Structure 1
Amino acid sequence: MILLRHELGEVLRERRQQQGRTLRDVAAAAAVSLGYLSEIERGVKEASSELLGSICDALDVPMSVVLDDVSRRVAHIESLTAPVSLPVGGRSAVVSASAA
């Protein structure tokens, strides 16, 4: 099962690391505790829209860009687990990619 909080956390962590910034730096700029930001990045906690906006501002990345990155990650995961039609005994059978 895909959890948005995991994918969002990964995107936020990647953005922060690409900028060479620490959790402490971004947490201070976003006015959120370091521990809470860490939990968001690890996908343990859900970020409210207000908090997500503050984190995006602190990273100087539009929220729409972050959400687009999350959407692309989710689409990629879905493509890996989408049902696949396989010919079986002259008929098509649908199996999940994880079972194939």
Structure 2
Amino acid sequence: MTEPRRLHAIPGGRDESPRRQPEQPEPLWRELLGGRLRALRREQRETLAETAERAGISPQYLSEVERGRKEPSSEMIAALAGALGTSLGGLTGQVAEELRTLRLPAATHHRGASQVPMLRAA
């Protein structure tokens, strides 16, 4: 009986050794922003309609932003922050901190904690 014919090795193909499992992908900024907006709104016990009205947008659009489906402009983010009693800087700082915290364990797993890069605004 003859062996099955072997095809040329393709990078990442079945003929090579198993590759390392990919790391969990980073969440998108809009997903974290939406989750933070929803958390702030719920902490204040407001409906989508109440917050959306103060921000000057539709409740449907706010719902999509909260679910991370829409990428709002900086003007829209500022309006939502104001409607929720915070500032654009405060809101983006909270989201950035959450993103940094989520990535910290994976980053320190491969490098020393002192080597984790920090993003700074220009």
Find the partner of 1:13 among 38, 44, 49: 38
TM-score normalised to structure 2 length: 0.66
Is the partner of 2:86 in helix, strand or coil? coil
Aligned identity (percent) is 34
**Displacement of 1:76 after TM fit?**
1.0
TM-score normalised to structure 1 length: 0.79
**Displacement of 1:53 after TM fit?**
1.0
Within the alignment, does 1:27 sit opposite 2:52 as a pair?
A: yes
Q: Which stretches in structure 1 are left out of the alignment for 5+ residues?
A: 86-100
**Displacement of 1:83 after TM fit?**
5.3
Q: Which stretches in structure 2 are left out of the alignment for 5+ residues?
A: 1-25, 111-122
Correspondence 1:76-91 to 2 at 5 A: 76-82=101-107, 84-85=109-110
1:40-69 deviation digits (Å, cap 9, x = unpaired): 001010010011111111112111111111
Is the partner of 1:45 in helix, strand or coil? coil
- Larger helix percent: 1
**Larger-Rg structure:** 2
Q: Which has the higher contact order (CA 8 A, sep 6+)?
A: 1
AA aligned opposite 2:53: A
Structure 2 distance, partners of 1:53, 1:62, is 7
Structure 2 distance, partners of 1:14, 1:80, is 23
